[in-house]
Structure 1
């Protein structure tokens, strides 16, 4: 153990300014690690052996394998999922053990070591499942209420219009009959628009994830979108990273999300002087941020709180499902969406994507 500690101190990843640890501090740190309810295992990846495990880790590992060795632990928890994964993990991984669910994360320490954290997330997972079920039921109730309202109104209008037309038909001239027919067709169009939006909601159920060259994808997307924005008098600009950047995504779904966001931004810019939309890309470690910003009127805090509720819309002709659909498609790609807006200053929508592994750099 002393030799391993000396090697760690000599490793290229050091903590500047840290004083040499005394024996008393070592004992305190050892006691802290031993009493933690999170399992901690440190392994030497070069010599392929375990050099430390605290009490919580030992308890779990003895249940997982007949003999706790580096090779057994590597096969079960340490091996890369696809044989070529390097660098820190992007998310916590899970392992089912009978009725228990274990969460674990692994982190490299310098060039010779790995630190593995293991903890029991059975109860946490159960509570999250209950909360998700409650949230799902609430959302279903909200959706059904919205559908009933959105379809019920035009149907009632159609019923009333056709009823009047039926009883007054002998008294109406051709022009009046045509007016009532147009009203009916308009309401039918509202229903059709809603049904189309609902179809889009389930359109991308089968997401096909792959490594996507983001710059190439955006070049093609912008070439398609810029003409439409120019027709609306909107300047569309892009700030891309000058690097070979890849992300994990479904190109069809990502394109649909961006089209929805551009449509929202264009609507927000109606009547504005010098309307402009900027698409920008940035990166932080394993995450890539794709933002769509406009210099429109922005939104109030109350409007922002309602944004992802089905059928909430500030558009006269909107369905209130656009952002809901965007969030659903992004969630299926292990991605997220965030909206930042201030009245009078415009709106920025940020999509967070997972960077794809790139071995060409």
Structure 2
């Protein structure tokens, strides 16, 4: 039997609570003179199954089983002179589990907190490694940028991380303890996120999976396996996945860059050799054209004009090859996106009038400046706008809109047409060299646009939902001049 100790400690209740929560592996509780629980550390909470806000609504007597003389224990707590170590007591958990333990009770006397008692449950503790694993699992579900799902043996969702909720489009309280079959019931069986066969031991490693949530497409890399107890009995399963959409996009950009570099090397070696004879042919044809016109050879004159048109087309193609092989030198300086758009609007409007298209422009007030080559940025916006105008086939609206993404520190230029859209099987190919849907197109225009925007440190994306197409150009802005 131990005599009661009196602790003289210069701490407030909050400071003591923080200390016992971080540094005490044993279960610790602080109670008032009448036995009301004032504080408890995480170790005791985990063992008894309570939340902090729950346990402080009880008294210490509520934690003890009926076989203990509660009145005597209360008397010991009320009378400091009678406090002594209690050899053995039984403590009841939230779900009725009983824990046998010995305790020490210390009176706390100091001015910063009410007269209270410090109780140590000597036999109720978690091993340090287990506590660390508990904290890691909590951090994994809360902080780490991974989708995590925990399932029990009945295929019910036991827990889910915040990242998984965002990607899957579910609300955590609504899906906890629900069957996975029920949660994803609207999704066809073959496209459901995870199959029940996972509980039969079907191990999944680096499985590529595509998930769409409110028209946003995620490319996921998924791992899954069962969880077994000490007797090798399956008690549940886990699914862990990561959003690799940006990595896949970066990989595709690298592949396109490699293809463009290869095309550029070929172009650099042949472009000048092609241009020299073309220049001679073009010169002689222009002489023939003049002579034929003077002699009234109208049919021959038309043939000559047709040949000159084709030669000009070859020259344009060679020029685009040369841009791929040796991009123009960038002249970077602070640029207002609004100024760029306003300067090219007359050109776009003239093109739109020829096709009976309406152009609408939405500007943003006081946009920050971007660091860019003004002329190349104009070239990109004109090229994409002309593509949109031609896609609408003499009827529709071309919308040009500016916006700012403060979170990503980027200026956005959206160019949207109301044309027929781009089929889903083509959408991933439109930036590929030589891919075109135009009868007379070279398939290099968008490749050049993408290269220019990447050289400026931005990116360009396209989306199409069956009606209309939107190209979004994003460029980082100068943070020092951020709009207010």
Normalising by structure 1, what TM-score?
0.51
Pair 356,187 (structure 1): closer, same or farther in 2 beyond 3 Å: same
Pair 134,196 (structure 1): closer, same or farther in 2 beyond 3 Å: closer
Return the alpha-carbon distance in structure 1 between the equivalents of residues 322 and 311 of structure 2.
16
- The residue correspondences of 1:97-112 to structure 2 (distance < 5 A) are none
2:132 aligned residue (28, 43, 51): 28
Q: Which residue of 2 aligns with 1:185?
A: 308
Q: Which residue of 1 aligns with 2:193?
A: none
1:258 aligned residue (381, 404, 407): 381
1:236 aligned residue (352, 356, 359): 359
What do residues 82-113 of structure 1 show as CA deviations (whole Å, max 9, x unaligned)? xxxxxxxxxxxxxxxxxxxxxxxxxxxxxxxx
Paired residues of 2:411 and 2:476 also in contact (CA < 8 A): yes
Return the alpha-carbon distance in structure 1 between the equivalents of residues 299 and 305 of structure 2.
10
Pair 297,131 (structure 1): closer, same or farther in 2 beyond 3 Å: closer
1:331 lines up with 2:444 in the alignment: no
Paired residues of 1:213 and 1:245 also in contact (CA < 8 A): yes
Return the alpha-carbon distance in structure 1 between the equivalents of residues 442 and 416 of structure 2.
22
Paired residues of 2:351 and 2:386 also in contact (CA < 8 A): no
**Once the 2 structures are TM-superposed, how far is the Cα of residue 330 of structure 1 from its aligned partner?**
0.3
Judging by fraction of residues, say which structure has more helix. Answer: 1
Q: Which residue of 1 aligns with 2:436?
A: 313
**Once the 2 structures are TM-superposed, how far is the Cα of residue 333 of structure 1 from its aligned partner?**
0.6
1:281 lines up with 2:402 in the alignment: yes
1:268 aligned residue (391, 409, 413): 391
Q: Which residue of 2 aligns with 1:303?
A: 426
Paired residues of 1:215 and 1:245 also in contact (CA < 8 A): no
Does the residue aligned with 1:339 lie in a helix, a strand or coil?
A: strand
Which stretch shifts more, 286-295 or 227-236? 227-236
User: Which protein has the larger Cα radius of gyration, Structure 1 or Structure 2?
Assistant: 2
Does the residue aligned with 1:280 lie in a helix, a strand or coil?
A: strand
RMSD of aligned Cα (Å): 4.5
What do residues 166-211 of structure 1 show as CA deviations (whole Å, max 9, x unaligned)? xxxxxxx955644554453343233122123234446753223333
Does the residue aligned with 1:288 lie in a helix, a strand or coil?
A: strand
Return the alpha-carbon distance in structure 2 between the equivalents of residues 231 and 30 of structure 1.
68
The alignment covers a number of residue pairs equal to 232
Pair 21,291 (structure 1): closer, same or farther in 2 beyond 3 Å: farther
**Once the 2 structures are TM-superposed, how far is the Cα of residue 250 of structure 1 from its aligned partner?**
1.9
**Once the 2 structures are TM-superposed, how far is the Cα of residue 267 of structure 1 from its aligned partner?**
0.7
1:349 aligned residue (458, 462, 471): 471
What do residues 315-340 of structure 1 show as CA deviations (whole Å, max 9, x unaligned)? 22222111001000000011111111
Does the residue aligned with 1:297 lie in a helix, a strand or coil?
A: coil
Paired residues of 1:146 and 1:311 also in contact (CA < 8 A): no
Return the alpha-carbon distance in structure 1 between the equivalents of residues 331 and 455 of structure 2.
10
- Unmatched tracts of structure 1, length 5 or more: 7-18, 37-128, 163-172
Paired residues of 1:246 and 1:356 also in contact (CA < 8 A): yes
What do residues 278-333 of structure 1 show as CA deviations (whole Å, max 9, x unaligned)? 01122222122211000012121233232111122112222211100100000001
Return the alpha-carbon distance in structure 2 between the equivalents of residues 281 and 132 of structure 1.
25
Judging by fraction of residues, say which structure has more strand. Answer: 2
Q: Which residue of 2 aligns with 1:322?
A: 445
Paired residues of 1:226 and 1:236 also in contact (CA < 8 A): yes
**Bigger relative contact order, structure 1 or 2, given CA contacts below 8 A and separation 6+?**
1
Paired residues of 1:146 and 1:310 also in contact (CA < 8 A): no
- The residue correspondences of 1:160-239 to structure 2 (distance < 5 A) are 174=297, 177-178=300-301, 180-201=303-324, 204-239=327-362
- Unmatched tracts of structure 2, length 5 or more: 1-14, 19-38, 44-125, 141-249, 286-295
Q: Which residue of 2 aligns with 1:70?
A: none
Does the residue aligned with 1:28 lie in a helix, a strand or coil?
A: helix
Normalising by structure 2, what TM-score?
0.40
Does the residue aligned with 2:393 lie in a helix, a strand or coil?
A: coil
Return the alpha-carbon distance in structure 1 between the equivalents of residues 334 and 133 of structure 2.
43
Return the alpha-carbon distance in structure 1 between the equivalents of residues 313 and 391 of structure 2.
22
